[in-house]
Amino acid sequence: MGGRTKYKLTLRALIVLLVVLVVISSLGVTNMLIASEVTKSTRETLEEKAAMTSRLVAESEVVRNSLSGERPETDIQPFAEKVRRQSKTDYITVFDMNGIRKSHPAPALIGKPFQGGDEGGVLAGKEYMSTAEGSLGRSIRYFTPIYNEEGRQVGAVAAGITLEKVETAVTESRHIIYAGLAAGLFIGLSGAFYLGRRVREVMFGLEPHEIARLLEERNVMIESAHEGTIAIDRKGKVTLMNKAARRLLEQTRAFGSLPDKEADSIISSFGLMAVLETGEAIMDKEVDINGSVFYMNASPLLVEGKRIGAIARFRDQTELKKLAERLSGTEMYAEALRAQTHEFMNRLHVILGMAQMKNYAALPAYIEQINIHYQDSVGYLARRMKDPVIAGFLLAKMSYSIEKGKELRLSEDSYLPAVDSRLTHELITILGNLIDNALEATPVSGRPVTVLIESEEDHLIIEVKDHGKGMADPDRIFEKGVSDKGSHRGFGMHLVRKSVERLNGEIQVSSQEGKGTIIEVIIPLEKKERTK
């Protein structure tokens, strides 16, 4: 036999079931309490009606005088029946001191003894309520003695209501209760279905276990992300911070218990409160916190068009820079291989042509010339650039320039000692962007782009010179996104300026339109960065 499928009630069904049970339980208890009270109240009302009717008849002159002999006894029946109809009692029986009836709803019973056996007390002058079996069935009846003007008892009166009528009155009273209970149950059910539907809509049609799974997946994704994530609510309180954010912010040594403080007072540089207030996102903003630089994006959190908070995502600039350098290095390596392959194929074509022309005598000299040129280029860089990363970088750039029909030269006065890796990364950013811009500004077969890298006692000088088109407004080249090369450009010189600032250096630009540009960077050197 196969496994049994476990059925789970939906949230809507659970809500409806719970509300229905609560409503039914409440109405059931209410019914018991009210029904008992209504039964008691109805019976008391009927008993009071019987008592008032009995007293009214006992106090009437017609009955008194008739029993005293001052009026005919036949006047009692019409009067008693009139009162009975007006009071809506079942019977009014007037009887004398011998218990003989003088009135009754059934005229045939007039003149016969009173039935029930509970009339002894009233004949003794007592007034009371009794329940007994009479000629009309079991009933409640109220006995009142009748006195003449001299105060002598001349008879009694019993006003009665059958128990059947009492039950009928109680049942009719309960019908009102039942109608109220039915209305309450209907309203409860309607509210339960509406609440269930509304809750489901608010929860986007998801069941609790589905929401729990989504929450777990969300937490795993946020915590596993390498990018720092911080979210705040509309009051500026931190509501979310993943492990990456804590790790990155702990590096700044500026933060304590973040969730218990206002975000703007702790990470004011992120500007999350401004994002929350204006609703405008921030893209690719550089944030400096205690010397640690982050790239940050921030955007408002919207629910049904209302801002409920803001979220920021950020990464350490160093990590991004390393990644960019890896990509840049791979790209330069590919470009260098492509350029060298192109150059090698050209030289092979020359060798093949000379062989086909059987000019064998000139082949050795040509091959030797190629070897000397290669050794000069590599040896030249190796002698002047003691940092192998920078040397390989410049060699790749030279090969790339040849591929583009341009020329890149290293000045004979250039010399770079071995430096630490941090400075190497910054120099690649600086040299790479300056050389690329210079080559882009230089026309094909134009004058060479020259690079000077000179190491003094306490500073390093980098100069890149081209004879290209120059710049009309050199002061704006360091602004992020400013470029005359089209959209999505203008980041290279901005990165150069940031690198120079991190190295506490300075940068100077000299440019004339139509004549070219000279950019000079001066970087102070620490003792540990210089060779002895």
Q: Residue 264 pLDDT > 80, yes or no?
A: no
Q: Residue 79 pLDDT > 80, yes or no?
A: yes
| Residues 162, 258 share a domain | no
Q: Count of CB atoms within 10 A of residue 324's CB?
A: 15
How far is CA 39 from each of CA 32, 46, 167, 444, rounded to the nearest angstrom?
A: 11, 11, 9, 111
pLDDT tens profile 332-386: 555 555 655 666 677 677 777 777 777 777 777 777 776 666 665 666 777 788 8
Phi, psi of 199 (to 5 degrees): -60, -40
Cβ-based neighbours of 531, under 8 Å, separated by 6 or more: 386, 417, 418
Distance separating alpha carbons of residues 267 and 373, to the nearest angstrom: 57
pLDDT at 461: 92
pLDDT at 377: 61
CB 194 within 8 A of CB 210: no
* Residue 270 identity: F
DSSP 318-349: HHHHHHHHHHHHHHHHHHHHHHHHHHHHHHHH
| Residues 387, 312 share a domain | no
Does 19 reside within a domain?
yes
Window from 24-28, 89-93, 262-266, 319-323 with minimum mean pLDDT: 262-266
pLDDT at 465: 93
SS3 content of the chain, % helix, strand, coil (to 5): 50, 20, 25
Window from 72-86, 197-211, 335-349, 484-498 with minimum mean pLDDT: 335-349
Distance separating alpha carbons of residues 145 and 350, to the nearest angstrom: 151
* Average pLDDT rounded to a whole number, residues 100-113: 89
| Residues 307, 375 share a domain | no
Q: What are the helix (H) ranges across 225-316?
A: 243-250, 263-266, 272-278
Report the percent of the chain where pLDDT is more than 90.
Answer: 9
- Indicate which CATH number applies to the domain containing 311: 3.30.450.20
Q: Residue 259 pLDDT > 70, yes or no?
A: no
| Residues 511, 438 share a domain | yes
| Residues 139, 60 share a domain | yes
Q: What are the helix (H) ranges across 88-236?
A: 120-123, 163-202, 208-224
pLDDT tens profile 474-526: 777 877 766 665 544 557 788 888 888 888 899 999 888 888 899 999 999 86
pLDDT at 520: 93
pLDDT tens profile 275-320: 888 888 888 777 777 667 777 888 888 877 788 888 888 877 666 5
Does 203 reside within a domain?
no
Does 93 reside within a domain?
yes
CB 442 within 8 A of CB 473: no
pLDDT tens profile 414-425: 888 888 777 887
Question: Can you give the C-alpha Rg of the chain in angstroms?
Answer: 55
| Residues 160, 62 share a domain | yes
pLDDT at 487: 47
DSSP bridge pairs for 507: 521
| Residues 148, 36 share a domain | yes
| Residues 247, 156 share a domain | no
Phi, psi of 200 (to 5 degrees): -65, -40
Domain that holds residue 277: 226-316
Report the percent of the chain where pLDDT is more than 70.
Answer: 79
pLDDT tier at 452 (50, 70, 90 boundaries)? very high
Last residue of a domain, one of 272, 293, 316: 316
DSSP bridge pairs for 453: 462
pLDDT tier at 22 (50, 70, 90 boundaries)? confident
pLDDT at 199: 75
Q: What are the helix (H) ranges across 388-420?
A: 388-403
Does 511 reside within a domain?
yes
Which uninterrupted H or E stretch holds 509?
A: strand 506-512
Does 323 reside within a domain?
no
* Averaged pLDDT score across all residues of the chain: 78
pLDDT tier at 133 (50, 70, 90 boundaries)? confident
Cβ-based neighbours of 284, under 8 Å, separated by 6 or more: 295, 296, 297
Does 501 reside within a domain?
yes
| Residues 312, 418 share a domain | no
Q: Residue 450 pLDDT > 50, yes or no?
A: yes
Last residue of a domain, one of 169, 184, 210: 169
Strands 516-524 and 292-303: unpaired
pLDDT at 231: 85
| More confident site: 447 or 39 | 447
| Residues 240, 131 share a domain | no
- What's the total number of domains in the chain? 3
pLDDT tens profile 140-187: 889 999 998 888 999 999 998 887 776 776 676 667 777 777 787 788
| Residues 386, 256 share a domain | no
CB 377 within 8 A of CB 408: no
* Average pLDDT rounded to a whole number, residues 18-47: 75
Does 363 reside within a domain?
no
Last residue of a domain, one of 293, 316, 339: 316
The single-letter DSSP state of residue 80 is: H
* Average pLDDT rounded to a whole number, residues 409-413: 86
pLDDT at 145: 93
pLDDT tier at 209 (50, 70, 90 boundaries)? low
Specify the long-range contacts of residues 37-43, CB closer than 8 Å, at least 24 apart. Answer: 38/170, 38/173, 38/174, 38/177, 39/170, 39/173, 39/174, 41/173, 42/166, 42/169, 42/170, 42/173, 43/140, 43/166, 43/170
Does 131 reside within a domain?
yes
pLDDT at 3: 47
- Indicate which CATH number applies to the domain containing 462: 3.30.565.10
Under the phi-then-psi rule, with left for phi > 0, alpha for psi from -120 to 50, and beta for the rest, what region is 271?
Answer: left
| Residues 158, 22 share a domain | yes
pLDDT at 157: 94
